[in-house]
Structure 1
Amino acid sequence: MIVANIADFREAARRRLPRFLFEYMDGGSYAEVTLRRNIDDLANVALRQRVLRNVADIDLSTHLFGTRQSLPVALAPIGLAGLNARRGECQAVRAANKANIPFTLSTVSACTIGEVAAASEQPFWFQLYMIRDRAFMQDMLAQATASGCSALVFTVDMPVPGTRYRDYRTGLAGAPGFKGSAWRAAQAMLRPRWAWDVGVMGRPHHLGNVAPVLAGKTGIEDFFAWMRNNFDPAISWGDLAFIRAHWKGPLIIKGILDAEDARLAADAGVDGIVVSNHGGRQLDGVPSTARALPPIADAVGDRLTVLADGGVRSGLDVIRLLALGAKGVLLGRAWSYALAAGGEAGVAKMLGLIEAEMRVAMALTGTTRIEQINRTIVVEDN
């Protein structure tokens, strides 16, 4: 597979996946205004080009939550990603291991925590939602601890699922029973390579971590019904006490988009936050990550570690988010596209492109260390 950038991975994923899976991965909520803003606003961040700065020795390594890693990025939690390639999360975690960066396993993954732990040679991060069933949450946290997960990413911007029109158009949502299954099966038949590699050889096809509470139901519509009925809209800052009681490692709150919420997170003693609008998949019309990040970083300073995601389609975009105040960047669709396009090798290739693009951007902005990347390299009147 010949790829020059993440757009090439996206196109390859579109050609390989059944339409309902590609649109689920690629789409956003409502009119997808925020989805487009994430990409466009980040691309419009202008950087200062500097010359004669001696950039012969560039080091992209950094430390996040006490662990040294080779790049200031992590693979973000992606729901259903394991259906993009055979046992997809296991392939992705191996690629992350080789690149020496964190992988984050979604609660709603195809592969279980235990399966991913068996495939991984390094500790990985685990992502969790607030679920009404606290016993389920406690069990997930116990499994994450037993599997050696090194950080917990607690997603807070999904008290209710966003409305994503693409999923209705493809039959992933809103078409229950035989009609929905037949619709999706017809789409899968148009992708015979995927149908064999993932549909036949990639079984079992259930959401591993959630399977025990689905009582044997394995359909996608069963999963979405479980989400609607079990995500807890009553979540509040007080619920962090429950998380802390059952998780002793670094705690990262994902879904912060307001400076006041960032200050509340710091007051609550969390270790990190992810400035994120859920990839434009929740409340449409909210600010892009690029717009929201600087005031949030200013509000909390060094009280916690600020991460960010949203709209990243290149290593240059990673540099932009670091310059706007992030200490690390989560890659979401980028690795999901790459996984669908080429499995473990695709994810490894994508990370190689990110690294190469970051090196060029650092050289041309006159920086040689990640800690040198800050707002001084941004053109302020942009």
Structure 2
Amino acid sequence: MVKRQIPDPRELVELMQFRRPSLDRVGSRLARAQSIDDLRTIARRRTPAAAFDYTDGAAEAEVSLQRARQAFEDVEFHPGVLHDVSDVDTSTTILGGPSAQPFGIAPTGFTRLMQTEGEIAGAGSAGAAGIPFSLSTLGTSSIEDVKQANPDGRNWFQLYVMRDRSISFGLVDRAAAAGFDTLLFTVDTPVAGSRRRDKRNGFSIPPQLSLGTVLNAIPRPWWWWDFLTTPPLEFASLSSTGGTVGELLNSAMDPTIDVEDLREIRDRWPGRLVVKGVQTVEDAKKLTDLGVDGLVLSNHGGRQLDRAPVPFHLLPEVVREVGDDVEVIVDTGIMHGADVVAALALGADFALVGRAYLYGLMAGGRRGVDRAVELLSEEVERTMKLLQVTSVAELEPDHVTQLRSLGPVPRD
């Protein structure tokens, strides 16, 4: 029999500890977010559907994105035991420079439309965290403003080669003059992918008011207040900003780009040159032979060709073929620090995160980006400790098994 007694009121008072109310609503909601998924939930609540869906969505049926995320969820880790992991070093060297974490911020377009602080928040947060920040050709802050926001950190520029080559060359020259150290030459966008969410939402730049957007804006007045009371959107490359996203992309992209364009940019760019959007082993080998400094295995976040190869699945074979000759970076589908660790274990030198950072931006501006980077960094460190490795260099293929729910059918 359990002996029972009347509770002492003084003991009850000690148990009943209430949190002090905070007037910092942004800080309070960000502190409650314990994952990137939590930030996504906040972002969806605070951002108009058209802007949120532009970030959250992908091409056509969104199969590429779903498979990319599933690939990371299908990872099985194999931890060691009896290793001292009281001190873990998450830093690495990538493309000739340091990074405090084995991931950086990927280039994203129309970023100030997600939240008005846009790329400036991302660049400032990256600089504070000691990780690289990438600015897109279709970014909504200028090369020079990003440099000002991250004056001492590492800035990378993502380049689309456009129909008017002089625009692309001018951007390359401006990025070099501003001290950007790496150029991400993007090769997976000859034309814009079909993004159904954007079409259904009537998403355009600048946003067009309709009955649907007005109704959707009613519970989100803060977003519209920020949008209407801050400077107009400015693009890094486009002199005309009117039209749907697909129209803007198709006006900027050039389906005729080829190896000669890559060589011309190589001759013009003084820093490290990385090709972004590699999706086959054969192309990885060809590009390595052409002397590029790095490859980004990416299907553009699932936003271009639907049912494209999963970069994480492609990673081990690419590393086996070219990993000794070129640095290999992976993106698409990364939502947790453990995803980054899994990629490193299978041979990646680095990872890039796009949506994860944008969810933080939409959830709370610069502070939200800081929270996203903080969460990913904590997850990287905790996963490494649980695997019982003390540095990025100790991660190896034996730490990971890729479990595949989808497997290729053998060819005759």
TM-score range, shorter chain: over 0.9
Tell me, yes or no, if structure 1 residue 60 matches structure 2 residue 84. no
Contact 1:171-1:184 at 8 Å conserved across structures: no
Contact 1:156-1:255 at 8 Å conserved across structures: yes
Contact 2:188-2:278 at 8 Å conserved across structures: yes
Specify which of 152, 161, 181 is matched with residue 150 of structure 1. 181
Shift of the alpha carbon at 1:380? 6.6
* CA gap 1:355/1:41 in 2 versus in 1, 3 angstroms: same
* CA gap 1:380/1:135 in 2 versus in 1, 3 angstroms: closer
Give the aligned CA root-mean-square deviation in angstroms: 1.8
Tell me, yes or no, if structure 1 residue 334 matches structure 2 residue 344. no
Query: What is the TM-score of this pair, normalised by structure 1?
Result: 0.93
* CA gap 1:190/1:60 in 2 versus in 1, 3 angstroms: same
Aligned pairs for 1:199-278 (under 5 A) are: 199-207=227-235, 209-211=236-238, 213-214=239-240, 218-221=241-244, 224-278=246-300
Contact 2:84-2:388 at 8 Å conserved across structures: yes
* CA gap 1:131/1:378 in 2 versus in 1, 3 angstroms: same
Specify which of 194, 202, 205 is matched with residue 171 of structure 1. 202
Q: Distance in 2 between matches of 1:33 and 1:224?
A: 19
> What residue in structure 2 maps to residue 324 of structure 1?
346
Q: Distance in 2 between matches of 1:156 and 1:277?
A: 10
* CA gap 1:380/1:80 in 2 versus in 1, 3 angstroms: closer
> What residue in structure 1 maps to residue 222 of structure 2?
193
> What residue in structure 2 maps to residue 299 of structure 1?
321
Q: Distance in 2 between matches of 1:24 and 1:96?
A: 23
Q: Distance in 2 between matches of 1:335 and 1:249?
A: 25
Q: Distance in 2 between matches of 1:116 and 1:16?
A: 25
* CA gap 1:58/1:133 in 2 versus in 1, 3 angstroms: same
Aligned pairs for 1:1-382 (under 5 A) are: 1=29, 2-121=32-151, 122-172=153-203, 180-182=208-210, 185-186=213-214, 187-197=216-226, 199-207=227-235, 209-211=236-238, 213-214=239-240, 218-221=241-244, 224-379=246-401
Q: Distance in 2 between matches of 1:192 and 1:166?
A: 22
Deviations 1:297-347 (A, max 9, x none): 111022110000011111111111111221100011000110111111111
Shift of the alpha carbon at 1:102? 0.3
Query: What is the TM-score of this pair, normalised by structure 2?
Result: 0.86
Contact 2:119-2:146 at 8 Å conserved across structures: yes
Gaps in structure 1 of 5+ consecutive residues: none
Q: What is the identity, as a one-letter code, of the residue corresponding to 2:258? A: S
Q: Distance in 2 between matches of 1:13 and 1:72?
A: 25
Contact 1:189-1:195 at 8 Å conserved across structures: no
Gaps in structure 2 of 5+ consecutive residues: 1-28, 405-412
Q: Distance in 2 between matches of 1:348 and 1:226?
A: 30
Contact 1:273-1:307 at 8 Å conserved across structures: yes
Q: Could you say what secondary structure the match of 1:255 adopts?
A: strand
Contact 2:75-2:402 at 8 Å conserved across structures: no
Q: Could you say what secondary structure the match of 1:364 adopts?
A: helix
Q: Distance in 2 between matches of 1:342 and 1:88?
A: 11
Q: What is the identity, as a one-letter code, of the residue corresponding to 1:38? A: A
- The higher radius of gyration belongs to 2
* CA gap 1:183/1:261 in 2 versus in 1, 3 angstroms: farther
Shift of the alpha carbon at 1:55? 1.3
Contact 2:117-2:366 at 8 Å conserved across structures: no
Shift of the alpha carbon at 1:25? 0.4
Q: Distance in 1 between matches of 2:212 and 2:320?
A: 46
Shift of the alpha carbon at 1:181? 4.0
Q: Distance in 2 between matches of 1:83 and 1:177?
A: 9
> What residue in structure 1 maps to residue 21 of structure 2?
none
Shift of the alpha carbon at 1:378? 1.3
* CA gap 1:183/1:230 in 2 versus in 1, 3 angstroms: farther
Contact 1:20-1:184 at 8 Å conserved across structures: no
Q: Could you say what secondary structure the match of 1:46 adopts?
A: strand
Q: Could you say what secondary structure the match of 1:379 adopts?
A: strand
Q: What is the identity, as a one-letter code, of the residue corresponding to 2:279? A: L
Moved runs in structure 1, 4+ residues, more than 4 A? none
Contact 1:271-1:304 at 8 Å conserved across structures: yes
Q: Distance in 1 between matches of 2:69 and 2:46?
A: 23
Q: Distance in 1 between matches of 2:115 and 2:354?
A: 15
